[in-house]
Amino acid sequence: MTPIPAMPAAVPPQVRTLPLTSDAKLMAAAQKLEATFLSEMLKSAGFDAARGAFGGGEGEDSFASFLRDAQAENLVSAGGIGLAESLFDAMKARANA
């Protein structure tokens, strides 16, 4: 039997975090607001309802919101519905005033 060689200890890469610009912070906030809005719209549309004979239960009810939030965030990262851009423009105009 051949022994499995030991893996070298993982050395974390030197990651330098760059400070976010004010525009990047505003866009991140706008995208978060759009994701929250889309999550509520998905909830209203019934995308978290149990499906089939094996669906439902307390576990599904507890974690359905996490799935819905992840779906909303994926929608936003894929381009969303344009709400983030409108929110960004409004927040930027307000910040510059």
Distance CA 51, CA 82 (A): 30
CA atoms within 13 A on the CB side of 18: 5
Helical pair 58-77 and 22-44, crossing angle rounded to 10 deg:
130
Per residue in 62-96, pLDDT (tens digit) is: 788 888 999 999 999 999 999 999 999 998 998 88
pLDDT of residue 62: 75
Distance CA 61, CA 80 (A): 26
Per residue in 18-46, pLDDT (tens digit) is: 567 888 999 999 999 999 999 999 989 88
Does residue 55 register a pLDDT over 60? yes
In terms of pLDDT, which residue wins out, 22 or 8? 22
Domain map (residue ranges) of the chain:
22-45+57-96
In terms of pLDDT, which residue wins out, 49 or 24? 24
Q: Outline where 1-97 has alpha helix (H).
A: 22-44, 58-77, 83-96
Q: Which of 69, 27, 74 is closest to 48 using CA atoms?
A: 69
